[in-house]
Structure 1
Amino acid sequence: MTGDDPHGWVRTARDGAVLTVTLDRADQLNAQTPDTWAALAAVGHGLDDGVRVVVVRGEGRSFSAGLDRSLFTPDPATPGGLGELGRLPAAELQERIRRYQAGFRWLRAPGIVSVAAVQGHAIGAGAQLALACDLRVLTEDAALRLPEATLGLVPDLTGTSTLVELVGYSRALELCLTGRAVGAAEAQAIGLANAVVPAAGLDGAVAALVTAITAAPVGASRETAALVRAAVRNDPDTQDAAERAAQARRLAELAELAGRG
């Protein structure tokens, strides 16, 4: 590592209802450490009700090249290194990983829509961070890759569930087992990318998407996002009931607003 950072090389900026979270370690292609994941989890924990959209991006030419290479060490004296983790008791190790996962899972928290702005490499933990978001805008040079199985590991930062949701079982299995790179064009074709744009157009495309998302009334937007997320796992009867309940809440609120007018 090129010097520890107390904020895990994560910085944030707020513009009204939009929170931008930036991996700020361009000299290391935004390689991640456990401090990065703790910082991301802290951002999620600190969200207030005024945040509607979270944009996740990486500084420099890559979104994130994944786990910091210094952590691929058998040395048990390296905090957060694979050697240290592998020597922990199973329950303690799983609790440690659970805390790491918290840095990713909040990106689909109720009340927000998350957008990953991906350029260059998104490898391993970088790919899983992009997958943790609701939506992804990729530059034409972007490529996502999950090489964990080829390294004797598994994707463990919430990546398997979100990948299956996006591309289906057989495609997800193939991508995870082979660890091959998925370029931007293929990512769009199989549903990993919502849009692919030239590198110079990334900021504009993300801004346009954010504007479109926040144009809808906040209550309707949040209820709709919750319904779509639930539809992935609900059976039809359960989902139909969820739609009825959500619409009842929306109509009651609209009636209340009309009464005030």
Structure 2
Amino acid sequence: MDTHAGLGRFDTLLVEVLDGVATVSINRPDALNALARAVIDDLAELVRRLRHNVNHAPDTGWPVRAVLLTGAGEKAFAAGADVREMAGMTPEQAFDYSRSMQEVTLALEELPLPVIACVHGYALGGGCELAMACDFIYASSSAAFGQPEVDLGLVPGFGGSVRLQRLVGPARARELILTGRRIGAEEAERIGLVNAVLGSKEELLAAARATALKIAAKSPVAVGLAKEAVRTAQGLDTAAALQGEAAVFRRAFGTADMREGTAAFLARRPPEFPGR
């Protein structure tokens, strides 16, 4: 196991890389992995290093092909923002705090690598918002999701009011945000927030890793372009979204991965994607 793969060490994150899959754990289990500023800073730096990894992949290979994001310990993925830090913030400091985490979630969405949220225990407030910024969510049967900011006299500040309605629809998002109600893993799967529910945390991570390895075996360039096509189509009318898809399709035809993939298909052999 390569515990670095060019990603280095962090104060609040644990990173392990095996077979091209990086498992990233928020490492504040005593605080239920709450998203203090130090965690946000480390997440921002992690995404920056992952982006650097991708940008240099054509020359150095792809040491990281997929990312699993989870929380250390048995109780939480991330129980939310750090209330102790927030309690003393001025409105302007709160705005900066919100924007800092929004930038992290946007960078995760734009990362041309698959990112799977592996939720065990609490994913509340900012934790739920962080999970929703990943490409999809796998959960253990003990997972709990919610946007309980109204209980603190607050509103979602890390993207919850934007992403939740895209995943579950505006009316259901309003209900969850306005009531602050927690939902379990099975309900989260039923309403489209979660892709799969597994039993234990070990089963959860094994299933997510199997999916990550399946994606990692595909063309890394095509995976990144596919993410881009899906992301940019959000919020566009059908005609504009189709035009955007065609533009990404055109770019794929200029890649070495496309030439290798089609040649391998015609030769009836497994492809060996060069990643460019």
Q: If the length of structure 2 is used for normalisation, what is the TM-score?
A: 0.80
Correspondence 1:9 to 2:12: yes
Cα distance, 1:204–1:16 mapped onto 2, change above 3 Å: closer
Q: How does 1:35-50 map to 2 (within 5 A)?
A: 35-47=38-50, 48-49=53-54, 50=62
Counterpart position of 2:244: 242
Corresponding letter in the other structure for 2:198: V
Q: How does 1:94-173 map to 2 (within 5 A)?
A: 94-173=95-174
Corresponding letter in the other structure for 1:183: G
Counterpart position of 2:79: 65
Paired residues of 1:144 and 1:183 also in contact (CA < 8 A): yes
What is the aligned residue count?
242
Paired residues of 1:7 and 1:36 also in contact (CA < 8 A): no
Q: Secondary structure at the match of 1:32?
A: coil
Identity of aligned residues (%): 33
Correspondence 1:202 to 2:204: yes
Over aligned residues, Cα RMSD in angstroms? 2.3
Counterpart position of 1:55: 68
Q: State the 1:111 CA deviation.
A: 0.9
Q: Which moved more, 1:16-25 or 1:170-179?
A: 16-25
Counterpart position of 1:75: none
Q: State the 1:248 CA deviation.
A: 2.0
Q: Secondary structure at the match of 2:131?
A: helix
Q: List gaps (5 residues or longer) in structure 1.
A: 1-5, 72-79
Counterpart position of 2:176: 175
Q: State the 1:176 CA deviation.
A: 0.6
Q: Quick one: distance in 2 between partners of 1:93 and 1:137? A: 30
Paired residues of 2:68 and 2:209 also in contact (CA < 8 A): no
Q: Secondary structure at the match of 1:233?
A: coil
Cα distance, 1:216–1:256 mapped onto 2, change above 3 Å: closer
Q: Secondary structure at the match of 1:180?
A: coil
Q: Secondary structure at the match of 2:137?
A: strand
Counterpart position of 2:190: 189
Q: Secondary structure at the match of 1:193?
A: coil
Q: Quick one: distance in 2 between partners of 1:250 and 1:32? A: 37
Q: Quick one: distance in 2 between partners of 1:129 and 1:173? A: 18
Q: Quick one: distance in 2 between partners of 1:213 and 1:180? A: 34
Correspondence 1:229 to 2:236: no
Q: 1:29 aligns with which of 15, 29, 32?
A: 32
Q: Quick one: distance in 2 between partners of 1:52 and 1:154? A: 35
Paired residues of 1:132 and 1:159 also in contact (CA < 8 A): no
Q: State the 1:177 CA deviation.
A: 0.7
Q: State the 1:93 CA deviation.
A: 4.6
Paired residues of 1:52 and 1:111 also in contact (CA < 8 A): no
Q: State the 1:67 CA deviation.
A: 2.8
Q: List gaps (5 residues or longer) in structure 2.
A: 1-8, 55-61, 268-276
- Give per-residue Cα distances to partners, 1:82-129, cap 9 Å, x unaligned: 22x22x5x4x65234312322332211241221110011111121111
